[in-house]
Amino acid sequence: MAGRESALYDETLLPLDGPEPGRRYAQVIVDVPAKQTNRPFDYIVPPELEAWVGVGSRVGVPFGPRTLQGFVVGLSESTGMDPRKLKPIEQVLDLVPPLNPELVDLARWMSRTYVCHEITALQAMIPGALKAKYEKYVAVAEEADGHSAPPPEGQALLLAGSPEEDEITAFVRQKGTVPMDAMLRRFPAAGPLLKRMLERGVLVEVQTVKDRLNAKKVLYVEPAADPRTLTEESGKLAAGAKRQKELLLHFAAHPSPVPLAELTDKLNVGAGTVKALADKGWLTIREREVFRDPYAGRSFARTEPLPLTEQQRGAFAAISDALGAERHDVFLLHGVTGSGKTEVYLQSIQQCLDQGREAIVLVPEISLTPQMVERFKSRFGDAVAVMHSRLSQGERYDEWRKIGLKRVSVVIGARSAVFAPFTKLGLIIIDEEHESSYKQEESPKYHAREVAVQRAARHGAVVVLGSATPSLESFARTSGRGAPYRLLTMADRVEGRPLPAVRIVDLREELKAGNRSMFSRGLYKAIEERLHKKEQTVLLLNRRGYSTFVMCRSCGYVVQCPHCDISLTYHQVSRTMRCHYCGLTQPEPKTCPSCDSEHIRFFGTGTQRVEEELGKLFPGIRVIRMDVDTTSEKGAHERLLTKFRNKQGDVLLGTQMVAKGLDFPDVTLVGVIAADTVLHLPDFRAAEKTFQLLTQVAGRAGRHRLPGEVFIQTYTPDHYSIEHASRHDYGAFIATELDSRRQRGYPPYCELVLVTFSHEQVAMVVRAAESFATRLKEKWQRMRTEFDSVSGAGAEDRYFEVYGPVASPIPRIKDRYRFQCMVKYRGDVDVSGMLTETAAAFDETVRQEKLHISIDVNPQVLM
DNA sequence: AGCACGCCGACT
DNA sequence: GTCGGCGTGCTC
């Protein structure tokens, strides 16, 4: 156990800036996400806490009848309130404030931009372990106050309670304070009685804010006397106490603290021996906080910067220049797969660190593989903290603390790492910037790319957005007058390796030729060849499960989820039908649930079915399947990839998670089973996503010595996204797609906001959605008249339109009906403000009728 | 979000 | 005449 912890947490914690003026009152955002509480409340900072309270501190404050968690967003010498009415802050929850003034300000920007409560934005910035948790205790009244509670007038006699009541009082008095749930466990039938006792004031309820988790503590042993005394004492020990003597001499020679576990391991002494010496007063056993280090015990061979190619040098020079000048610049680094973007990142980070500033690297969750982490750890060593969802809550918390304690200066992580509480930020890198996982789908529905640019601007820091297939939004920002981003291009793979040859297979032709299998003849032969040559294959199918839907061929009935308007997917392994939206699982039907016919059939192909088919076609083939179902366990993702890397698998078959960033030397074949799955989704980005997916997965082949080959199977071989992907022609794709977006009026030619309404009753949701749309349009009409009267510049570029409401593409999820409105706008329009105000009118309906309104600014998914 | 305060129906 | 429905408003 002891080996898992590394760096000791024995920072000497000093109070913030010491007593200074302007800390008398604190403005606090409390943990109540509601419109009416979405503003700071003033509190007195008690003198004894003054030194520990800063902007960004997490505090416990009394709010109405209870105690809540809150964040300090301001400190001041005066207050607009009557100071006598203010309550004091009860507790400061962290020794080091988890946020800082810049992040607090960023949270305000987020709440305005993404239309969410400020507390929601603040909560998103801290690790889950610090989310508020409240505990209710009961205590006997006079003990809680420290003085006797006055008996209510004329009821003194009644207060001499029933026997049950006396029993309860005695129990609580003996324990001091008792958690409410423990009370109910001890006295299961006493609920109403407890309530009465609380009402009468015999008992009082105390609520406190608790951390969900505490720093990990380990027992350490240290000497309690100076070495000379220890040596002397060791001589006085009984002759038989050899172990004790050894121990004392050890500490006489090495007086530094040692983990108890290490002591018992290495010096081969029992814990009892240590305890005995502690009891005698020569040693002290103390709890100390340690970091849980998920990468402890692994060594990373130090790497040196590699020589750069000419293209890499060009890109690095531009970044380096901006870094040197501490100028806020955003670069879009467009580098084909295998062009060596990572090395450019690494050297840019190095320069940033040399300048004494800090760097954040964002990567999509899925490509945060050990391989990736290793590249950074081996260049920057202990200066790197890693944050991703596969870490335990505790591990995550500890990585986070390293940032606040200035133990690290580089953070590599998924989306939320953009909030790493650095104070001297110099560089933010977003790898695979086109990835949709940078958008958070829950409130606050922020995009890490937008937040990164915002943060960097505040720090005068550089942003590097890297991708082989940049998003249209980012690309569009690199051209034209006053373009906010600068484009850096790396068009060739390192060492002149060629991009793999891509073949498009028309599945309609296969069918005509009588091939009804899911593998075209070409792909079949190619796989067979790889098995022969002992080379490896990656197969992509963007659909998990076994089949996508189950239909009765007699009556046409399709098995659907009873709670969502979506067909259920059949999972072969568990022989169950599952809803991919609400998680419902039910047994497979033997006969048609509607007409009882036995002609029930599975349609559509999922990864499980491909796996089965591969086994039939190539007996003995070793398939590693990677999808949500096989990677849900902690570490499973990593394990499967390692297995493939060690060549314990011939084929890596998976959903889009096999397309991203993987780099295996022996992969020479990539097959896309069905390229059209994404293309026909009801999403204006369908073509873009298809192009990106195909380009990315094709990039997995032939990255090393052996040349690669790619097969793309499709029913629409002429579609431009497929054609251009096959020729690795980003420029041509972008031109066509931009044109199409302009014609259809979609980003980057306008901005979008998706407003989704959901409720258990259709009538309610329709009414709310329509009324919302009407109000929003009216608001725009009023604003436009104002604009016209001022006739300011840019008026002609201003555009605003509300579309819908219409039923959502999935009209019902978890028994709630869903309708949506789409706002399209362009130019200087405060749409977020308009939406905030419009939504405010529905506040009561939201509260009372359980209507949900979701506002998604720049949505990535239109479902 | 909780919780108290406050104004109109069916009951001892 | 009261007990209680949940509409409205407040929490530093």
CB-CB contact of A707 with A476 (8 Å): no
Nucleotides of C under 7 A from a protein CB: 6-8, 10-12
**What does the buried/exposed string (b/e) look like for A464-494 if buried means 16 or more CB atoms within 10 Å of the residue's CB?**
bbbbbbbbbbbbbbbeeeeeebebbbbebbb
Using the CB atom, is residue A353 less than 7 Å from strand B? no
CB-CB contact of A599 with A553 (8 Å): yes
CB-CB contact of A293 with A402 (8 Å): no
Three-class secondary structure assignment of A400-429: HHHHHCCCCCEEEECHHHHHCCCCCEEEEE
Which nucleotide has the least CA–C1' distance to A32?
B1
Give CA–CA dist A728/A694, Å, rounded: 9
Closest CA to A728 of A434, A337, A436, A467: A337
Q: Is the pLDDT assigned to residue A583 strictly greater than 90?
A: no
Which nucleotide has the least CA–C1' distance to A64?
C11
Q: Is the pLDDT assigned to residue A530 strictly greater than 70?
A: yes
| Banded model confidence at residue A15, pLDDT cuts 50, 70, 90 | low
Closest CA to A380 of A357, A356, A349: A349
Given this model, what pLDDT does residue A11 score?
A: 41
| Banded model confidence at residue A794, pLDDT cuts 50, 70, 90 | low
A352 is in an annotated binding site: no
Higher pLDDT, A339 or A348: A348
Given this model, what pLDDT does residue A3 score?
A: 36
Average pLDDT over residues A26-55: 93
Which nucleotide has the least CA–C1' distance to A85?
C12
Given this model, what pLDDT does residue A544 score?
A: 66
Average pLDDT over residues A370-379: 86
Using the CB atom, is residue A532 less than 7 Å from strand C? no
- Considering only A50-59, A237-246, A466-475, A730-739, which range has the smallest mean pLDDT? A237-246
Encode pLDDT of A801-827 as tens digits. 999 899 998 888 988 999 999 999 999
Average pLDDT over residues A38-59: 93
Using the CB atom, is residue A282 less than 7 Å from strand C? no
Average pLDDT over residues A50-68: 92
Using the CB atom, is residue A31 less than 7 Å from strand C? no
Encode pLDDT of A584-612 as tens digits. 888 888 888 888 888 888 877 778 888 88
Using the CB atom, is residue A81 less than 7 Å from strand C? yes
CATH number for the A751-857 domain, one of 3.40.50.300, 3.30.70.600, 3.30.300.20, 2.40.128.630? 3.30.70.600
A116 is in an annotated binding site: no
CB atoms within 10 A of CB A333: 29
Identity of the highest mean pLDDT range in A3-12, A160-169, A221-230, A284-293: A221-230
Give CA–CA dist A629/A602, Å, rounded: 19
Given this model, what pLDDT does residue A254 score?
A: 84
Q: For residue A396, give the amino acid letter.
A: R
Give CA–CA dist A141/A149, Å, rounded: 6
Looking at CATH, the fold of the domain delimited by A310-495 is given as: Rossmann fold (3.40.50)
Average pLDDT over residues A772-800: 81
Three-class secondary structure assignment of A280-348: HCCEEEEEEEEEECCCCCCCCCCCCCCCCCHHHHHHHHHHHHHHHCCCCCEEEEEECCCCCHHHHHHHH
Average pLDDT over residues A447-456: 98
Which residues make up the CATH 3.40.50.300 domain(s) of chain A? 310-495, 501-544+606-744
Given this model, what pLDDT does residue A320 score?
A: 98
Q: Is the pLDDT assigned to residue A142 strictly greater than 70?
A: no
Averaged confidence pLDDT in chain A: 85
Given this model, what pLDDT does residue A443 score?
A: 93
Which nucleotide has the least CA–C1' distance to A81?
C12
Q: For residue A664, give the amino acid letter.
A: F
Using the CB atom, is residue A199 less than 7 Å from strand B? no
Statement: A501-544+606-744 belongs to CATH 3.40.50.2300: no
CB-CB contact of A599 with A590 (8 Å): no
Q: Is the pLDDT assigned to residue A159 strictly greater than 60?
A: no
| Banded model confidence at residue A622, pLDDT cuts 50, 70, 90 | very high
Average pLDDT over residues A59-71: 92
Residue reference for tokens 């006079």: A142
Using the CB atom, is residue A34 less than 7 Å from strand C? yes
Q: Is the pLDDT assigned to residue A145 strictly greater than 50?
A: no
Given this model, what pLDDT does residue A666 score?
A: 87
Nucleotides of B under 7 A from a protein CB: 1-4
**A845-CA/B6-C1' distance, Å:** 21
**A32-CA/B2-C1' distance, Å:** 10
Closest CA to A671 of A435, A497, A504: A504
CA separation, residue A739 to residues A689, A692, A732, A734, A749 (Å): 16, 18, 11, 8, 10
Given this model, what pLDDT does residue A39 score?
A: 95
R_g of chain A, CA atoms, integer Å: 32
- Considering only A73-87, A304-318, A324-338, A621-635, which range has the smallest mean pLDDT? A621-635
End-to-end C-alpha distance for chain A, whole angstroms: 47
Given this model, what pLDDT does residue A18 score?
A: 47
Using the CB atom, is residue A299 less than 7 Å from strand B? no
A582 is in an annotated binding site: yes
Using the CB atom, is residue A847 less than 7 Å from strand B? yes
Which nucleotide has the least CA–C1' distance to A35?
B1
Encode pLDDT of A413-442 as tens digits. 999 999 999 999 999 999 999 999 999 999
Average pLDDT over residues A38-65: 93
Encode pLDDT of A208-258 as tens digits. 777 655 567 777 888 888 888 888 888 888 877 888 888 888 888 888 888
Average pLDDT over residues A337-360: 95
Give CA–CA dist A136/A617, Å, rounded: 62
Average pLDDT over residues A126-141: 80
Using the CB atom, is residue A64 less than 7 Å from strand C? yes
Using the CB atom, is residue A256 less than 7 Å from strand C? no
Amino acid whose CA is nearest the C1' of C6: A848
Using the CB atom, is residue A37 less than 7 Å from strand B? yes
Which nucleotide has the least CA–C1' distance to A63?
C11
Which residues make up the CATH 3.30.70.600 domain(s) of chain A? 751-857
Encode pLDDT of A724-773 as tens digits. 999 999 999 999 999 999 999 999 999 999 999 999 888 889 989 999 99
Which nucleotide has the least CA–C1' distance to A40?
C12
Higher pLDDT, A78 or A634: A78
Using the CB atom, is residue A180 less than 7 Å from strand B? no
SS3 A858: coil
Which two structure tokens, joined as six digits, stand for A683? 């999403």
Given this model, what pLDDT does residue A213 score?
A: 52
Higher pLDDT, A8 or A786: A786
Give CA–CA dist A421/A56, Å, rounded: 10
Closest CA to A860 of A740, A695, A747, A693: A747
Which nucleotide has the least CA–C1' distance to A850?
B1
Encode pLDDT of A542-582 as tens digits. 776 666 778 888 888 888 888 887 788 888 778 888 887 77
**A74-CA/B6-C1' distance, Å:** 36
Given this model, what pLDDT does residue A329 score?
A: 97
CB-CB contact of A770 with A826 (8 Å): no
Q: Is the pLDDT assigned to residue A155 strictly greater than 50?
A: no
Given this model, what pLDDT does residue A59 score?
A: 94
Average pLDDT over residues A20-38: 88
Using the CB atom, is residue A84 less than 7 Å from strand C? no
